[in-house]
Amino acid sequence: MVETESGAFLGDTRIRLLEAIGEFGSITQAAKTVPLSYKAAWDAIDSMNTLADQPIVERAVGGSGGGGTRLTAYGRRMVAFYRAMEESYQEVLDRVAQKFGSEGPGDMQQYRGLLRRMSMKTSARNQFVGPICALRDGAVNCEVTLRLDPQTELVAMITRESMDRLNLALGTEVHAFVKAQTVMLMTDPAVRTSSRNHLWGTISRIHVGSVNDEITLTLPGGRHVIAIISHASVESLGLLEGGKACALIQDSSITLATFD
């Protein structure tokens, strides 16, 4: 669920309503598909259009039936982003289920139910976009390489099912989201790590906190990577504004989304 200060903005029911509108071009048919009453469907659309920065649904003028209802380009991107974040959230739950599987499926169902009832606010500080320049197709997982600029590439690992659902291919423009808390930093080029992505740059800003510090790294192409690490780590690494550092990003820590 996506929450705003005014209350719930997006949830599974509203997303299914938007997807049905995109498929049928009719709010009447979309409401029946969800299912919702016609009034409930329109109330949901009015609420979303009011809270969103741009209209999500608009009336289509003309046609043999005198027009209909359709998703705007902004609305289609909103649905795609929600589904991408939902998939990432489910993968996290699956990993938790594997870790605590010994407690039994009943306990995990209770945990899942609790998490669904809780509002979750997320914010990926690092957002990149670029075309796919390489794909390695595996039986279960697939490796996707994005070219952010002529000097920078980013490698992500996603499931084969995700690749098929996103309809990924060479040249497809993809958005990549990385949480700042998952970005590690190093300063020694000789250190070997398991991270697929080593992004060297210049430290352009250090925002000091009471426990953790926020480090902004400027890459050669001008893009920024933000990492949140402990103040003790900043001191032990000797990080200073103007100094060089490398952002380490695991390929499995990257969430991909397309907005076609």
**Are 245 and 233 in contact, with CB atoms under 8 Å apart?**
no
In this prediction, residue 67 carries a pLDDT of 56
Q: List helix spans (H) across the chain.
A: 12-24, 27-33, 38-51, 73-99, 105-117, 160-166, 231-237
In this prediction, residue 260 carries a pLDDT of 53
In this prediction, residue 38 carries a pLDDT of 85
In the chain, the domains with their CATH numbers are 2-76 (1.10.10.10), 84-117 (no CATH), 126-178+253-257 (2.40.50.100), 180-248 (2.40.50.100)
In this prediction, residue 182 carries a pLDDT of 94
What are the average pLDDT values for consecutive 10-residue runs of the chain, which has 260 residues? 43 87 91 88 77 77 60 89 76 65 54 44 71 88 92 92 87 89 94 92 90 90 89 93 95 84
In this prediction, residue 104 carries a pLDDT of 52
Helix/strand/coil percent split, the chain, to 5? 35, 35, 30
In this prediction, residue 110 carries a pLDDT of 56
**Are 186 and 246 in contact, with CB atoms under 8 Å apart?**
yes
In this prediction, residue 7 carries a pLDDT of 38
pLDDT in tens, 79-96: 888 888 777 766 666 666
